[in-house]
Amino acid sequence: VGSLDKNSRKVGTGVVGAPACGDVMKLQIEVDDAGKIVDAKFKTFGCGSAIASSSYTTTWLQGKSLDEAGSIKNTDIASHLKLPPVKLHCSMLAEDAVKAAIKDYKKKAETTD
C-alpha cells in the first residue's frame, strides 16, 4: 500500500478502473538497472476482492523481471485468492494495472536512453 515517485524514470504507473462497479486501481512498480522489480505499491478504491487482488499482485511482483511480470494472468490471481465468478473483474483489473505499469516504465526508459 502506498505510492512511489511517479516522476522517477525507474517507476512505472498503471491506473485502471471498472466502470461497472466503480473500482479504481493504481499500481506502481520500481525497476532496478538490471530490469528486476524491486518494489511495488498500490492504492485501490473498491471492494475487498479488488484490494486483495492488488495486494497479492504487488507481493507476487517482487523480484520478477519485466517479462515475468508481464506474464501474469488474472486467472492465476483469481485462483490464488479463490475469487467467486462475480468478482473476476477484480483480478482482471490487477492484470491490466500491471501491464499498464510496465508500458509506462518502458515508455519512460525509451525517452531517457
The catalytic residue positions are: 21, 90
> 27 has which bridge partners?
14, 42
Radius of gyration of the chain (CA): 13
The 8-class DSSP code of residue 5 comes to: -
- State how far the Cα of 64 lies from the Cα of 34, in Å rounded to an integer: 11
Lookup: cell for 41: 505499491
